[in-house]
A and B are shown apart, each in its own frame.
Chain A
Amino acid sequence: MSNAAVATMDRKPMPGMMVYNKKLGMWVFLLSEVMFFTSLIGSYVILRFAHPDHWTEVGTVLNVQLTALNTFFLICSSVTMVKAFAAIQAGDQKGLQRWLLATILIGATFVGIQVVEYMALSGEGFVPMLDSYHAVGRGNPHEGPSLGGPLYGATFYAMTGFHGAHVSIGVLCLIFVYIQSLRGVYTVQDHEGVEVIGLYWHFVDLVWIFLFTIVYLI
């Protein structure tokens, strides 16, 4: 291809990966995130095989129903995110704003429910610290089923906590994108920001699919 042809090409597709730079950058970042969460999940699997006595039966400590509802919310927020993207692809600014706002609200609800869950669990003595594990509540055998051992609490908070932090950061980024959308920054021709934050958001949903299964259901 001649230099002139390259110069007249749309600036976005890059030689090599054939996608625009921001998207490629986000994908590479997400791949590093895969390794990050792999290290967490891998550690969890190894610890669980090594110390099965620290874990209890499914549903006896963690509130599976509440978290299933929260999972439902996160899946819904992925739908509202793709709807926002589809809206701006069609040039619908109002639709973009509406769906982005819905995504922000649902994402914030997810984090809120997680905080409520943490408060309830820590009130029962299910905490990430070795010293105070069982210190209150169900530590006494007469006050309910066993909480297992401290590794259960430590791995639970490490995995769901890092995920919750990702959701929180995602909500903040979405608020930024929402403000930009109110200013009319995104158009049919240029809405890279919406697509890139969408990739991040769906990735956070994707990670939760695994965490929910591994931490709550198995």
Chain B
Amino acid sequence: MAEQEHSHPPYILIWVVLLVLTLAEVAMSLYMTNVSKVVLAVGLIFMAVWKAALVAMYYMHLRYEPARLWILAISPIPLAFILVLAVISEF
């Protein structure tokens, strides 16, 4: 393969982190009922973003890809915001 040589990412360590974050999310959602809904939602989405970033960076090897692919990969994020904002403005 022509891709750059790199040592394997710490796959198992990332798996453990994903599991811990998932358990933390479930515990927060089920047991932190005295926290306001907005704070809880922001916290949960923040953790989900971190989990997604770990999957993209290490399992999808984005971290080891050329910068151009990396830019391509994040390009739909602003587009996604525009789509949602456009729909909200119609609403």
Contacts and interface: CB of A to CB of B under 8 A. Distances in A.
Contacts of A71: 22
Interface string B21-37: 01101101110000001
23 contacts: A12-B1, A17-B72, A20-B2, A24-B69, A31-B72, A31-B73, A34-B80, A35-B79, A43-B87, A59-B29, A59-B30, A64-B29, A75-B18, A75-B19, A83-B11, A189-B1, A192-B1, A198-B60, A199-B60, A202-B59, A203-B60, A214-B45, A218-B40
Contacts of B48: 209-210, 212-214
Given A206-B52, A206-B55, A206-B56, A218 B41 contact: yes
A35 B44 contact: no
Contacts of A209: 48, 51-52, 55
Contacts of A75: 15, 18-19, 22
B35 to A, nearest CB: 12
B2 A218 contact: no
Interface of A: 10, 12-13, 16-20, 24, 27-28, 31, 34-35, 38-39, 41-43, 45-46, 50, 58-59, 64-65, 68, 71-72, 75-76, 78-79, 81-83, 86, 89, 189-192, 198-199, 202-203, 205-206, 209-210, 212-214, 216-218
Interface residues of B, number: 46
B87 to A, nearest CB: 6
A35 to B, nearest CB: 6
A36 B72 CA distance: 17
Given A78-B55, A202-B56, A218-B44, 9 more contacts: A17-B66, A19-B65, A31-B72, A64-B30, A65-B26, A72-B19, A213-B47, A214-B48, A216-B29
